[in-house]
């Protein structure tokens, strides 16, 4: 994992300023050159009060440029709540993996993912069949930011059945060694993806341009592992999951990373008002972990991703175990047909 196996020199060190995006250039933003040192120091010293005090001062100045409406204030309060939650999370999150001899663990530790074949007959049950039937009939809709087009939680019985299969296959053991804690399968979601899906475009939802790598992201929450279990054939046209090998070890500027995670979970900047609450932050901390849309198609980064992304198609296996909160991935941008899969989350007991 990234703290004991870090890669400091990588191509993603700089977070794009999301306010620079072409389609939002006419929108309000904080243009002041703010000194980020007080924020950085407070985060480093784990002083939340000082951190909030410094940030309040920065935001207060922007109110002279543009008063805050009630709607924006609510978004702002939600963002600050999330920011404080992540601040507290990262006060204690600095893990060293527990080394074990296992190919699954070595793959996860070195590259951020492992591919295997599980016996699907041990997983399939009536709950999955029923939920697939519901989801396959569900009409297209506009899922709100953070929700998905077609997915349903499996019941606790299915979750413990899958936990058992994951234990037998060594996936839980590898996850436990990776995070040096006891873990179990905590939730499983039945997912159905189609070409009409909108969920992968949620960040800057109201913007029109979609780049080739829109959808590439790092999950805002760290400290869990996930597994994608394909229940059907997935070729390149059916929205395979992509993962950038070794990106689970990339180290970022901690302050910028803190903001980039919190910005994702605060409405995904999906409309003007949500963006305004975020654009009051100064340049330097207006980044996001959902950065795919900001990668221009002809850029070096886009070409780098084209060359290096691992494409998990079902000819390689039916299950991908991965670190979602540190590594770059996307998935389910379906061009043809339908992708049927289970999204399995492993978390602390």
Q: What is the contact surface with Fe ion in residues (CB under 5 A)? A: 219, 324
CB neighbours of residue 72 within 10 Å: 18
CB closer to Fe ion out of 40 and 329:
329
Name which of 287 and 324 has its Cβ closer to Fe ion.
Answer: 324
Cβ 199 to Fe ion shortest distance, Å: 11
Q: For residues 55 and 101, what is the distance between their CA atoms, to the nearest angstrom?
A: 46
The residue ranges of DSSP E strands in the chain, in sequence order, are 113-116, 151-153, 183-193, 225-230, 241-243, 310-312, 319-322, 329-330, 339-348
Smallest distance, Fe ion to C-beta of residue 335, A: 20
Give least dist CB 55 to Fe ion, A: 27
Residue nearest to Fe ion (CB): 219
> Quick one: which H or E segment has residue 59?
helix 48-65
Q: In terms of Cα–Cα distance, which of 274, 297, 248 is closest to 79?
A: 274
When the beta carbons of 199 and 324 are compared against Fe ion, the nearer one is 324
Is 19 or 345 the residue whose CB approaches Fe ion more closely?
A: 345
Q: How far is the CB of 167 from Fe ion (least distance, A)?
A: 23
Q: Six-digit token pair at 151?
A: 């997915």
For residue 330, the minimal CB distance to Fe ion (Å) is 7
Residue placing its CB nearer to Fe ion in the complex, 97 or 225: 225
Short-list 114, 113, 108, 116, CA closest to 5: 108
Residues 34-68 as b or e (16 or more Cβ within 10 Å = b): bebebbbebbeeeeeeebbebbeebbeebeeeeeb
Structure-token pair, residue 272? 């003007």
Instruction: Using the minimum distance from each CB to Fe ion, give the nearer residue, 282 or 324.
Output: 324
Q: Rounded to the nearest whole angstrom, what is the least distance from the CB of residue 113 to Fe ion in the complex?
A: 12
């Amino acid at each position: 994992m990234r703290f004991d196996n870090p890669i400091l020199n990588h191509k993603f060190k700089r977070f794009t300023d999301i306010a620079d995006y072409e389609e939002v250039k006419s929108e309000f933003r904080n243009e002041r050159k703010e000194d980020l040192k007080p924020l950085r120091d407070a985060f480093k010293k784990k002083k939340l009060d000082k951190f909030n005090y410094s940030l309040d001062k920065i935001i207060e100045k922007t109110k002279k440029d543009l008063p805050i409406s009630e709607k924006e204030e609510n978004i702002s309060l939600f963002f600050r709540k999330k920011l404080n939650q992540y601040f507290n999370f990262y006060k204690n999150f600095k893990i060293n993996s527990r080394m074990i001899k296992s190919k699954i663990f070595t793959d996860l530790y070195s590259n951020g993912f492992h591919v295997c074949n599980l016996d699907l007959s041990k997983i399939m049950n009536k709950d999955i069949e029923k939920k697939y039937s519901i989801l396959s009939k569900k009409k297209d809709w506009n899922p709100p930011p953070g929700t998905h087009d077609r997915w349903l939680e499996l019941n606790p019985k299915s979750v413990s059945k899958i936990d058992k299969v994951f234990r037998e296959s060594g996936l839980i053991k590898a996850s436990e060694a990776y995070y040096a804690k006891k873990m179990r399968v905590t939730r499983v979601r039945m997912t159905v993806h189609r070409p009409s899906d909108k969920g992968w475009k949620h960040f800057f939802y109201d913007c029109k341009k979609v780049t080739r790598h829109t959808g590439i992201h790092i999950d805002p929450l760290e400290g869990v592992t996930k597994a994608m279990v394909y229940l059907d054939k997935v070729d390149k046209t059916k929205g395979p999951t992509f993962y950038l090998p070794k990106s689970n070890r990339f180290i970022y500027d901690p302050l910028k990373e803190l903001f980039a995670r919190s910005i994702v979970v605060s409405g995904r900047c999906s409309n003007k008002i949500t963006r305004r609450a975020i654009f009051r932050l100064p340049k330097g901390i207006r980044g996001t972990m959902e950065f795919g849309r900001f990668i221009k198609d002809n850029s070096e980064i886009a070409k780098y991703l084209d060359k290096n992304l691992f494409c998990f198609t079902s000819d390689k296996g039916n299950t991908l175990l991965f670190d979602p909160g540190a590594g770059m991935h996307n998935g389910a941008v379906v061009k043809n047909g339908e992708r049927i899969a289970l999204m399995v989350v492993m978390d602390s007991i």
